[in-house]
Amino acid sequence: MGATLSMARRLALIDRARRRDAWIIEDDYDSEFRYASAPLSAMQGLAARADGEGPVLYVGTFSKTMYPGLRLGYVVLPPALVGPMRRANVRQFREGDYVLQAALAEFMHGGGYARHVARMRRLYARRQQCLRDVLGTGTRLIGGAAGLHVVLPLDTRDGERRLVAAAAERGIALAPLSGYFMRPRGQPGLVLGYANATEAGIERAGGWLARRLRRLR
């Protein structure tokens, strides 16, 4: 949904994992793009003991900060899992692409990566604001404090289906929220990604959506 898990819920989840002897996979795939407040600590850091052991496997990716075709990501593991995971990684991916990994490491050490992420954060903040402006204050949006999408809740599945179809006829790809639910009847709505669009494109597609929503209301 694009919301940020609160500190209280992070702590409750860690407590539950400990009591049930379970793992948490923390898929922190887009938190570099945080616009409003200071970042909350990852559960991995909250849960790890001094020796690094804890119930959280922290997963990150360079797909959002760089580009998806890079196929580079990382995991921060409790020490007990490093050996088994390394063996699984070798079997599955042959340890990946060393040249790309080394090039990215150099980009990071030289400060280029941090500058790139900071520049993109400003750009994506502008694009999100552009989307908010064009949809207007009367349109409720969920999320947006971090990440690269917001969610626009709708009242009915039928409304969602018709809106997605009408948009497709105009060459606008709207992602239906209900498709992301495992339950057959998930919350209807739209998942609006704004990262991979120009402000002119957001104004054009968002303008159409805003007019359509006004008519529905």
Ligand X SMILES: Cc1ncc(COP(=O)(O)O)c(C=O)c1O
If binding is defined by CB under 6 A, does position 179 make contact with ligand X? no
Helix, strand, coil share of the chain (percent; to 5):
50, 15, 35
Q: Give the CA distances from residue 18 to residues 23, 59, 60, 85, in Å, rounded to whole numbers and listed in that order.
A: 8, 19, 22, 21
Of 149, 208, 154, the closest CA to residue 178 belongs to 154
To the nearest whole angstrom, how small is the minimum distance from the Cβ of residue 133 to ligand X? 26
The gap from C-alpha 199 to its chain's centroid, in whole angstroms, comes to 20
Which of residues 63, 65, 101, 187 is near ligand X by CB under 6 A? 63
Considering the complex, state which of residue 66 and residue 166 has its C-beta at the smaller distance from ligand X. 66
- Residue 179 C-alpha from the chain's centroid: 16
Q: Which of 39, 45, 52, 73 binds ligand X (CB under 6 A)?
A: 73
* For ligand X, the closer CB: 72 or 205: 72
Choice between 29 and 208, CB closer to ligand X: 29
Q: Contact with ligand X (CB under 6 A): which of 17, 29, 159, 203? A: 29
Distance CA 49, CA 42 (A): 14
Asked if residue 68 lies in contact with residue 196, where contact means CB atoms within 8 angstroms, the answer is no
Among 68, 112, 136, 207, binds ligand X (CB under 6 A): 68
Q: Which residue has the tokens 């280029």?
A: 112
Cross-strand bridge partners of residue 189: 153
Stretch that binds ligand X, among 32-40, 60-68, 173-181, 183-191 (CB under 6 A): 60-68
Looking at 3-11, 47-55, 61-69, 149-157, which segment touches ligand X (CB under 6 A)? 61-69
Residues that bind ligand X (CB under 6 A): 27, 29, 61, 63, 68, 73
